[in-house]
A and B are shown apart, each in its own frame.
Chain A
Amino acid sequence: MPNPSKLHPNLVERMQVRALADAASLRVIVLRRAGTVGVAANALEGLTETHYTYRLIPASAQSATVAAIHALTERDEIEMIWYDEPVHALLDVSVPLIGAPRVWEGGFTGKGIKVAIVDTGIDPNHPDFTGRIAQMKDFTGEGPADNHGHGSHVASIVGGTGAGSAGKYQGVAPECVLYAAKVLRGDGSGSTSDVMAGIEWAVQQNVQVVNMSLGSDGACDGTDALSVLCDTAMSRGVVMCIAAGNAGPGASTVGSPGCAKTVITVGASSDTDSVANFSSRGPTSDGRVKPDVCFPGVSIVAARAAGTAMGSPVDALYTSASGTSMATPHAAGTCALLLQAKPGLSPQQIKDILMTTTKDLELDPNIQGTGRAQIFEAYQKAVGETPTPSPTPVPTPTPTPGSGCWTMLKNVLGGR
């Protein structure tokens, strides 16, 4: 009989929350009793691969199906099984992961494309934004500077230069032109009416892309005023990239304006291409599939506004944060690249291109949309190039997938 006491709570949660089928495969860390021999890959059906064997403790990192994990718990020599938690997908990982540098090589960095960040403002003195902000407008009464940190983080994912990190934390479209509509106060909250006013201001500035890493609670059907306004902006030629929300993993958790009918609604994935548990799920309350697409949004290191402590600060200039808030600016930056590469694309064309060039994560559409975006493939489709096999492997995230603290032991000990 399976022995659930040998399953660490992080693994139980992973299996329960995602309601994984027996055949679903996970990366796990298997700890056995001292002096015993590990269970080799293929020695058990569903135990498919041993990634590392550790020396400091009697453990190994393995891929196993849910059924195999339960079977392992029946073995006397097995003491504990953990889920191999992924760690930090830095901006220097997430941007290559989705293929942005390959588009940059073609000369497309979002140069001249106007992108509005409708958020908590931007820190204009951060080195990553030097000379990059065209306009700032305050709708909160607090002044346009970012006294929360969220907007600066988001803006740097869209188009930060990475100047404060010698280029390490460069955004997706590092030469786009930024517009900041401050609609959320220093506590990160605001009102729908201010957000609507901020969008209208951005449209009046002739921006081509709007990033909205914000929303309200509760399922919706896309008929509320904010959603309708966002759809109208799309119809006027402005690409609206909107966060799905962080109310997952339950169904029908996409709030307004993520539920708007024509916008690009963005869910969050990890550097190992799993959809984050927190990422809101569809369908909308009128039965439409959401999100539309996923972008990286787990532990993203990007700009930290002066005097703020949002997320987990890395140093004086950068902080780490997770959320569909962080996934959405990857999408907005991508849109800027596509618009530079193929001027005249309509918002709907861009949405279609993004959604038809994803990597299918083989999850329900109401979890992943069509999958995790691939910028280079989207670029090829936008400019009409025939897709060709990648000349180099897809950049490997650093640390590598499945690189929780346990896997770090491998780096120290030279495991396997």
Chain B
Amino acid sequence: MAMQISDLKSKWQHDPDATVRLIVRVTDNPSAHVAQVEAHGLVVRYTYSLISALAVQGAAAAALALANEPWIISIEEDKPVRTMPMAGGTNAKPI
């Protein structure tokens, strides 16, 4: 389950210098917000078109400031994903 933004803010406040990678969903065309995101000191890694969202990276303190923007719908951590194979045998156990 995704962390609530309040939980994320607490985490960022605890370690404002940490580098964070986030997926930010916005109210409208994400390209229109690239400059605003960058103005907070964050790097825009991707601007998506299927949904209104950007992938950003930067300091937690910058993310804290970004979270207060009115055009932000949600922020979630850019979670790790992985392949889903098991070992080859029939007695394979979950990895």
Contact = CB atoms under 8 A, between A and B. Distances in A.
Interface of A: 10, 85-88, 119-120, 148, 150, 153, 183-184, 188-193, 195-197, 199-200, 203, 213-216, 218-221, 223-226, 228-229, 232-233, 236, 243, 245-248, 256, 278, 285, 298-299, 310-313, 319-326, 404
A278 B85 CA distance: 10
A188 B83 contact: yes
B84 interface: yes
Contacts of B55: 193, 196-197
Contact of B50 (A85, A193, A236, A243): A236
Interface in B79-95: 79-95
Which bracket fits the contact residues of B?
A: 20 to 34
Given A197-B46, A319-B88, A246 B95 contact: yes
Contacts of B63: none
Contacts of A311: 85, 87-88
6 contacts: A85-B90, A190-B80, A214-B83, A223-B2, A225-B51, A323-B85
Contact of A191 (B21, B86, B95): B21
A123 to B, nearest CB: 15
A312 B92 CA distance: 11
A285 B84 contact: no
Contact of B90 (A214, A221, A298, A310): A298
B7 to A, nearest CB: 14
Given A190-B82, A192-B23, A321-B88, 9 more contacts: A86-B90, A189-B81, A197-B46, A228-B51, A245-B84, A248-B94, A285-B1, A319-B88, A322-B87
A197 B48 contact: yes
Question: Interface residues of B: mostly helix, strand, loop or mixed?
Answer: loop
Nearest to B89: A312
Nearest to B23: A225
A246 B94 CA distance: 6
B85 A321 contact: yes
A235 B74 CA distance: 22
B94 A278 contact: yes
Contacts of A221: 1
A314 B48 CA distance: 41
A212 to B, nearest CB: 9
B94 A247 contact: yes
Contacts of B45: 193
Contacts of A246: 84-86, 94-95
A241 B91 CA distance: 26
Contact of B92 (A196, A224, A278): A278
A318 to B, nearest CB: 11
A203 B84 contact: no
Contact of A192 (B78, B84, B93): B78
B90 A216 contact: no
A196 B55 CA distance: 9
